[in-house]
């Protein structure tokens, strides 16, 4: 299946959006947001929709995403990501709460691994997962980006001690 990509300037820096088979498969940021080998740059409807929805999100006029997605991951990861997509804009959860939601109450560490492997950050809102006690915790894009996303959604948190 042919993969296509586009870049998007954002308040977080350049984002690389990748689609395949009519669905968004990856959102990449930072130093990795460069044109990968073997991926064509022509825009398509999915990339256009994702770009428009992300722009609206960054300007505060979009509270959710409807772009079709197909993240690559294990069955467990996909279950965790689906649960994350149900978390409303401006709300958070903890790794333990998310583990309970996916039927694995002792699996906070496994849920953390799935959250960290999320190939569609922002669209699958892994930034809304906080450590116990509403503490910041880690983030694949770095804590500075996580703070920006939480501020954008008017979410309060505690810095780690």
User: Which of 33, 46, 102, 126 does the annotation list as catalytic?
Assistant: 126
Q: What pLDDT is attached to residue 139?
A: 87
**Diameter over CA atoms, the chain:** 47
Following DSSP, what letter does each residue of 70-90 receive, concatenated? Answer: -----HHHHHHHHHHHTSPTT
Catalytic residue list contains 6: no
**CA-CA distance, 83 to 107, in Å (whole number)?**
14
In terms of Cα–Cα distance, which of 160, 111, 110 is closest to 136? 160
Count CB neighbours of 54 within 10 A: 21
**Per-residue pLDDT tens digits for 125-147:** 999 999 888 888 888 888 899 99
Residue 29: name the closest of 119, 138, 150, 141 by CA. Answer: 141
pLDDT < 50 stretches in the chain: 161
Rounded to whole angstroms, the Cα distance separating 58 from 55 reads: 5
Instruction: Specify the pLDDT at position 3.
Output: 84
């Amino acid at each position: 299946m042919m993969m296509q990509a586009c870049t998007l300037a954002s308040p977080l820096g350049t984002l690389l959006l990748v689609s395949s088979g009519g669905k968004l498969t990856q959102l990449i940021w930072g130093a990795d947001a460069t044109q990968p080998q073997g991926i064509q740059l022509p825009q398509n409807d999915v990339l256009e929709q994702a770009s428009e929805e992300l722009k609206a999100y960054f300007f505060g006029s979009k509270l959710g995403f409807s772009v079709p997605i197909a993240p690559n991951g294990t069955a467990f990861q996909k279950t965790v990501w689906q649960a994350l997509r149900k978390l409303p804009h401006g709300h958070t959860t903890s790794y333990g709460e998310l583990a309970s939601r996916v039927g694995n109450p002792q699996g906070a560490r496994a849920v953390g691994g799935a959250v960290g492997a999320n190939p569609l950050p922002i669209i699958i809102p892994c930034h809304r997962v906080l450590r116990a006690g509403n503490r910041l915790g880690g983030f694949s894009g770095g804590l500075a980006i996580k703070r920006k996303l939480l501020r954008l959604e008017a979410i309060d948190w505690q810095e780690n001690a």
